[in-house]
Amino acid sequence: MRPKKISVITGTRAEYGLLYWIMKNILDDPDLELNLVVTGMHLSPEFGLTFKTIEEDGFEIDEKVEILLSSDTEVGVSKAVGLATISFAEIFARTKPDFVMVLGDRFELLAAAQAALFSKTPLIHLVGGDVTEGAFDEAIRHSITKMAHLHFVTNPDSAKRVRQLGEDPSKIFHVGNPGLEHLRYLKLMSKEELSDSLNFKLRPKNLLITFHSVTLEKDASNNQFSELLAALDKLDDQYGIIITKPNADNEGRALIDQIDHFVKKNKNSIARTSLGQLRYLSAVKHVNAVVGNSSSGLLEVPSLKTPTINIGDRQKGRLKASSVIDCKPDTKSILEAIRISEKLDCSDAINPYGDGYTADKVISSIKSIKDPLGLIKKKFNDVDFNFESS
């Protein structure tokens, strides 16, 4: 019997990091075949050409799909989705995978899910069922859930939401956050090694900043990020500031311009397009707090017992560890949250997203499916509840 071919789609550095160990397990399993499709930010010089990192990690890229336009407006993103859908449709028709695998809620993945739907290819969706009320990612995530056939979720609440969307309970698997698997395998850098790798002198106190576009609030991203940078500007030179640049989302390029201007003006700061998993997690371990609105602050950071300052509503609705400090997106609130983080003891923080044993669970569940095409015709599974229209 030939191996089952799994077409894994990745478009960003963050989602690739979450997929890494699952892809490794697919590659090492004689009953499975990895078909790796790279798209989005991975292929953009502006965002670091991170496909090179994937190749350096030992993966062979089977397909490269160019979809990013020079515009990051609403129209530009919509056109990118259309272009990606056409490209993925052609790839799936040619390569005929047994499964398509996507993780999360990026617009590139919505395109891949649509192409899989129309090509009658079973779709595997990881990290569905989460709630993020401040970004259109939530609508994309739930849309992919309705097109998917196997669901691997990070927590019981998300499993319930996927079930509430009418999905078959036997096809919903609570496996935890795949990104935590790195903490079992990676030997993190010492503070000195991190400083040398970044070519940046770490200060007595250090902050790691990751801020992404707030896609459901008109023109809010620039304003909120300006408030964050104003707060950082008020800190003294005892603080070192490490900034990772945002994803290719609406208003993303404007945020990058602000970062470049800030770093040029503030010698106690650096910015990097991509840190990679080892440097990112090492930085999380050694900084005093992670600041911004990235999901990583909730999903991975608590496992390293580092405080997270979660700004605004982008991650509103997600489960949060006791190490997460929510604050409003204004300078005064951010500064107050930084002060609180300095006194916060995170040693007893428990990550609600699992223990880092995810990839084996995902692979064994996929291998248990003897007839992938038997998944295609889905039944809507109703949930019993009382409903009264107002």
pLDDT of residue 67: 83
How much is the mean pLDDT over the chain?
Answer: 92
Q: Count other C-beta atoms under 10 Å from residue 383's C-beta.
A: 10
- Residues 374, 376, 380, CA angle at the centre, nearest 5°? 110
pLDDT of residue 136: 77
Amino acid type, 249? D
- CA separation (Å) from 52 to 276, 283, 339? 11, 22, 39
pLDDT of residue 71: 64
Cα within 13 Å of Cα(155), Cβ side: 16
pLDDT of residue 219: 59
- Looking at the predicted structure, is the pLDDT value of residue 337 above 70? yes
Amino acid type, 268? N
Q: Is 309 left (phi over 0), alpha (psi -120 to 50) or beta?
A: beta
- Looking at the predicted structure, is the pLDDT value of residue 344 above 80? yes
**CA-to-CA distance for 369 and 366, rounded, in angstroms?**
6
- Looking at the predicted structure, is the pLDDT value of residue 389 above 60? no
By percentage, how much of the chain surpasses pLDDT 70? 94
Mean pLDDT across the stretch 63-92? 87
More confident residue, 283 or 79: 283
Answer yes or no: are the C-beta atoms of 307 and 339 closer than 8 Å: no
Look at residues 216, 176, 190 and name the one whose alpha carbon lies nearest to residue 74.
216
Name the pLDDT band for 38 (thresholds 50, 70, 90).
very high
Question: Which of 57-66, 131-140, 273-282, 338-347 is predicted with the least confidence, judged by mean pLDDT?
Answer: 131-140
pLDDT tens track for 285-306 = 999 999 999 999 999 999 999 9
Q: Phi/psi at 10 (nearest 5 deg)?
A: -135, 135
Q: Count other C-beta atoms under 10 Å from residue 121's C-beta.
A: 23
User: What count of residues does the chain have?
Assistant: 390
By percentage, how much of the chain surpasses pLDDT 90? 76
Answer yes or no: are the C-beta atoms of 242 and 272 closer than 8 Å: yes
pLDDT of residue 379: 94
Domains of the chain: 4-175+358-375 (3.40.50.2000), 187-343 (3.40.50.2000)
pLDDT of residue 243: 96
Mean pLDDT across the stretch 189-214? 95
pLDDT tens track for 98-122 = 999 999 998 899 999 999 999 999 9
**For 255-287, b where at least 16 C-beta lie within 10 A, e where not — what string?**
bbebbeebbeebebbebbbbbbbbbbbbbbbbb
- If you write DSSP's letter for every residue of 353-367 in order, what string do you get? T--S--HHHHHHHHH
Name the pLDDT band for 45 (thresholds 50, 70, 90).
confident
pLDDT of residue 309: 98
**CA-to-CA distance for 381 and 184, rounded, in angstroms?**
37
pLDDT of residue 40: 87
- Looking at the predicted structure, is the pLDDT value of residue 360 above 90? yes
pLDDT tens track for 202-261 = 999 999 999 987 755 555 788 899 999 999 999 998 999 999 988 766 666 788 899 999
At which residue do the structure tokens 């990772």 appear?
A: 244
Mean pLDDT across the stretch 163-185? 95
**Residue 339, Cβ density class (10 Å: 0-12 exposed, 13-18 middle, ≥19 buried):** exposed
Name the pLDDT band for 68 (thresholds 50, 70, 90).
confident
Answer yes or no: are the C-beta atoms of 188 and 210 closer than 8 Å: no
Give the SS3 label for residue 14. helix
pLDDT of residue 25: 97
pLDDT of residue 75: 86
- Looking at the predicted structure, is the pLDDT value of residue 390 above 90? no
pLDDT of residue 215: 59
